Amino acid sequence: MFAADPLFSTGIDFGVVLIALAKSIIGFLFVLIGVIFMIWFERKLIADFQNRIGPNRAGPWGMLQTLADGIKLIFKEDLRPDGSDSLVFRLAPYLSVVPAFLTFTIVPIGGIFTGAHQGTVHLFGHDTFLQVADPPIGVLFLLAMSSIGIYGAMLAGWASGSKYPLLGSVRASASMISYEAALGLSVVSVVLMSGSLTTHDIVAAQASGGSILDWNIVVTAFVPFVVFCIAATAELNRPPFDFAEAEQELVGGFHTEYSSMRFGMFYLAEFMNTITMSAIIVTLFLGGPSGPIGPGPDQVWPFFWFLLKLLVFLAAFVWVRGTVPRYRYDQLMDLGWKRLIPISLMWLLFIAGIRIGRDQNWSPVLVPLAAIGLGALTVGLLAGSMRTAAIRREQSDEDDLGEVSA
């Protein structure tokens, strides 16, 4: 998993092990401190949207309120329902937290990607990347962790032995299935344009030209970026897609029966996933830490640009949460299956046709037209099959209603 990092190119010694451990600890602390800041940031920003004050008692500007809430959860009594599955009930919170951190390990948070540096920094006599790991299958690792993370919500609802948490976990599973395909197709578009599965190479490809026009958000013509952002919001169970914990309907959702720090771990996982997914969006579409180098130490500027881009997306997630009303469940399913998947599939075929035509020196006019035609045909067939299935389902419901009335 660490093989692509130049840190391991000369073998493994005590110094290499220490640097690897230090990067892992720093990465974990970065996410953990980011969660503390994110909770405060979200509460204050939504309070401003709603003309309220927000947290203002614990610490300056209320910045210690999150720490106070965490301490309160640690000392609260840990309850477990009598009808729950003990092992799975205790395991579920970890299945939500661990994938969130593991996903962040493949994100480059610094390093100059132009010239001879190519994202490397020199630490204690060793060259290394400013990311915990750079596996050759980084994008596949991202999709795998995204799929595993849903097991936390699913198993928490099932193991609680209660109907409302079970409904919340079923909703979480359904939304994951609906949006995982669209999210994966949008990521494949980035892989096609970058020519690599590693996050380091994806950032390097965007920084190679030294221009914003080389970022994947522009190169892929914005559509995969929009699809990825919508699908990521749904996978994070954040408003307006937070059906797994819709308080008006499910009494708190899949973690209703949890208390103390186990509930806190689900809360931690939600905000940790928000930070991680924002970092992934920055990495895949906005050039990661790449940006202009100003006065002062060169290595400080990439980290600054990464934090700035990350903050923009965190603010966007809060903005959406505070302004967009919650979708209905049928609207969530329709958006995923009937809109995002066909659009992302058509655009993937379009980008694949462009890439193949460029490699084979085909006509720059005919290839896009053929790709658009093939994509439109595919989407039409897919939409037709979905429409037929919906009509059959409605007819079946009407027949069942008629039998009940009779």
Q: Map out the domains of the chain as residue ranges.
A: 6-326, 343-406
Q: Look at residue 310 in the predicted model and tell me its pLDDT.
A: 94
Rounded to 5 degrees, φ, ψ at 265 are: -70, -35
Tokens coding 87: 């092992």
- pLDDT, tens digit (0-9, with 9 covering 90-100), for 197-221: 899 889 988 888 778 888 999 888 8
Mean pLDDT of 297-305: 85
Q: Look at residue 308 in the predicted model and tell me its pLDDT.
A: 94
Q: Look at residue 251 in the predicted model and tell me its pLDDT.
A: 67
Q: Look at residue 151 in the predicted model and tell me its pLDDT.
A: 85
Percentage above 90 pLDDT, the chain: 16
Gap between the Cα atoms of 208 and 8, Å rounded: 24
Mean pLDDT of 117-136: 79
Mean pLDDT of 335-358: 83
Q: Look at residue 221 in the predicted model and tell me its pLDDT.
A: 84
Model confidence at 334, pLDDT cuts 50, 70, 90, reads confident
Among 141-155, 270-284, 296-310, 357-371, name the one with the lowest average pLDDT: 357-371
- The rounded Cα 306 to chain-centroid distance in angstroms is 16
Mean pLDDT of 15-21: 84
Q: Look at residue 111 in the predicted model and tell me its pLDDT.
A: 81
Q: Look at residue 6 in the predicted model and tell me its pLDDT.
A: 73
Model confidence at 163, pLDDT cuts 50, 70, 90, reads confident
Q: Look at residue 1 in the predicted model and tell me its pLDDT.
A: 47
Tokens coding 65: 């309120």
- pLDDT, tens digit (0-9, with 9 covering 90-100), for 225-235: 999 999 998 88
Tokens coding 93: 């919170």
Mean pLDDT of 291-319: 88
Rounded to 5 degrees, φ, ψ at 241 are: -115, 25
On the CB side of 370, CA atoms within 13 Å amount to 12
Q: Look at residue 399 in the predicted model and tell me its pLDDT.
A: 60
Gap between the Cα atoms of 300 and 402, Å rounded: 69
Gap between the Cα atoms of 46 and 349, Å rounded: 40
Q: Is the pLDDT of residue 113 over 60?
A: yes
- The rounded Cα 21 to chain-centroid distance in angstroms is 25
When the pLDDT of each residue in the chain is averaged and rounded to a whole number, the result is 82
Q: Look at residue 379 in the predicted model and tell me its pLDDT.
A: 65
Among 92-101, 180-189, 262-271, 293-302, name the one with the lowest average pLDDT: 293-302
- What pTM did the predictor assign? 0.86
> Buried (b) or exposed (e) across 54-72, using 16+ Cβ within 10 A?
bbeeeeeebbbbbeebbee
Gap between the Cα atoms of 18 and 308, Å rounded: 29
Three-state secondary structure along 337-392? HHHHHHHHHHHHHHHHHHHHHHHHCCCCCHHHHHHHHHHHHHHHHHHHHHHHHHHH
- pLDDT, tens digit (0-9, with 9 covering 90-100), for 42-81: 999 999 988 888 888 888 888 888 888 888 888 888 888 8
Percentage above 70 pLDDT, the chain: 85
Q: Select the highest-mean-pLDDT range: 62-71, 311-320, 332-341, 355-364.
A: 311-320
Q: Look at residue 194 in the predicted model and tell me its pLDDT.
A: 87
Q: Is the pLDDT of residue 10 over 90?
A: no
Instruction: Classify 399 as helix, strand or coil.
Output: helix
Helix (H) / strand (E) element for 245: namely: none
